[in-house]
Structure 1
């Protein structure tokens, strides 16, 4: 086992579900830090794939940006769209494996890789999916409980309801100007509510969002897509009109939807 770890560290890569995870700048950490971060990334990818299925790329580059004197395990992260897609992770170089595991950020960013790059007006879909799915992954894999799952989603929805009072533009327009408007709460969590409603509707047909995205990743995902094309693909895979119907309802809405804790508890 010791020789195996040494080999993994020398290559700065790990394998999970046949993906070669290449961790750049890992050698800037201590030996213990390298083991902690490598284990965290590998385990998080496995958890994500347990819920959403294998990523359809052979290599996943991870670009580490270790930080000093930060107050959370992963203060910032982003997707690096390329060939192949990768992630940039700004991390607390001294965080423990437990702290990394309980942080939602990596599950969020990994979820993004299951969707194509959408135009800015459709970012409410991509950010909504990642915001919802980070909690589904954590719940499915025992990182959080069902009660915590409900509480976290409800808290996000409450923040979005509050911001909607001052950010009342149509959702697609606000999504297009999200950073300038500082409207992330409304955009992210309205998108998450879309996928909650989709899951509740799909449940009645014996399906769920994760299973549809698993199929989409395996058969149909492109590097880029329009929002409408993406939605139509999901309807085709689910043999339903769930996604198209909800998209027509959400894309230009100016309010925040009513999603209750009772509904969330059914997921």
Structure 2
């Protein structure tokens, strides 16, 4: 079963959001929980699009997997690549709207939709972008403060630094094997550092990562791509060599980059 929600229901709240959200399995929840989940999903998309611009796709399917016993609002989620792309959300059916809103998972998964599907060797880019952008979206929308934004990124970078001591393969090689090696911390957060450093460089040129991704999403994001074509297109959209310069430093690197709290605070 499914239920349709149009994000143009409220002129004041959703006037720029034209994507239609199709929530599957919503009727497995009570009436009050249906309202909570649909409000959370719609508001999360609004927050994401406020930062990254409108999604290119006109319809977004959400596949709910409600759980009776969960230790967090969204214990697991994933992107379902299809036509159109969608999200599968495993949720605590009894979580409050406040708890859902403060959970980072949906912002992370929505961020994935702004990038194409890469080969496994390029997953450090997709997971890094989503890990970085979930925090930008939450900061931009007031869910977390700037000090919390800095703390969260720095904590992620610290976890990556620690795991880099034992997971020493080149980043692209480790990216293709991260599940078997349980190397998600290094892969995700080294990728996040790549996008943080790109954002810092772009800001010196009067741009932001979000503005470049917004342009890329609207003009030329394919369903699938490889890392080099993606990087080339971002350079084109930003009229710079920011992304190719950093990509050359990151793709085969075996260490963690030097990025400080002071630098993070400039973002």
Question: What TM-score, normalized by structure 1, do the two folds share?
Answer: 0.96
Q: CA offset at residue 10 of structure 1?
A: 8.2
- Asked if 1:13 corresponds to 2:9, the answer is no
SS of the residue corresponding to residue 224 of structure 1 reads: coil
Question: Where has structure 1 moved over 2 Å in runs of 4 or more?
Answer: 9-14
Q: CA offset at residue 69 of structure 1?
A: 1.2
> Structure 2 matches for 1:110-125, cutoff 5 A?
110-125=110-125
Asked if structure 2 preserves the Cα contact closer than 8 Å seen for 1:12 and 1:26, the reply is no
SS of the residue corresponding to residue 90 of structure 2 reads: strand
| Other-structure match for 1:176 | 176
- Asked if 1:97 corresponds to 2:89, the answer is no
- Asked if 1:39 corresponds to 2:39, the answer is yes
The root-mean-square deviation of aligned C-alpha atoms, in Å, is 1.1
| Other-structure match for 1:158 | 158
| Other-structure match for 2:217 | 217
Q: Distance in 2 between matches of 1:119 and 1:207?
A: 28
Q: Distance in 2 between matches of 1:11 and 1:22?
A: 6
| Other-structure match for 1:202 | 202
Q: CA offset at residue 14 of structure 1?
A: 3.4
| Other-structure match for 2:264 | 264
* Alignment deviations for residues 40-93 of structure 1 (CA, whole Å, 9 cap, x no partner): 000000000000000011100000000011110000000000000000000000
SS of the residue corresponding to residue 254 of structure 2 reads: coil
Q: Distance in 2 between matches of 1:172 and 1:212?
A: 23
SS of the residue corresponding to residue 149 of structure 1 reads: helix
Q: Distance in 1 between matches of 2:205 and 2:98?
A: 37
Asked if structure 1 preserves the Cα contact closer than 8 Å seen for 2:24 and 2:63, the reply is yes
| Other-structure match for 1:128 | 128
Asked if structure 2 preserves the Cα contact closer than 8 Å seen for 1:122 and 1:172, the reply is yes
SS of the residue corresponding to residue 12 of structure 1 reads: strand
* Alignment deviations for residues 166-218 of structure 1 (CA, whole Å, 9 cap, x no partner): 00000000000010010000000000000010011001100010000000000
Q: Distance in 2 between matches of 1:208 and 1:122?
A: 22
Q: Distance in 1 between matches of 2:148 and 2:68?
A: 30
Asked if structure 2 preserves the Cα contact closer than 8 Å seen for 1:234 and 1:243, the reply is yes
| Other-structure match for 1:148 | 148
| Other-structure match for 1:250 | 250
SS of the residue corresponding to residue 245 of structure 1 reads: helix
Q: CA offset at residue 25 of structure 1?
A: 0.1
Gapped runs of 5+ residues in structure 1?
1-8
* Alignment deviations for residues 130-179 of structure 1 (CA, whole Å, 9 cap, x no partner): 00000000000000000000000000000011100000000000000010
Gapped runs of 5+ residues in structure 2?
8-13
Q: CA offset at residue 11 of structure 1?
A: 3.7
Asked if structure 1 preserves the Cα contact closer than 8 Å seen for 2:74 and 2:91, the reply is yes
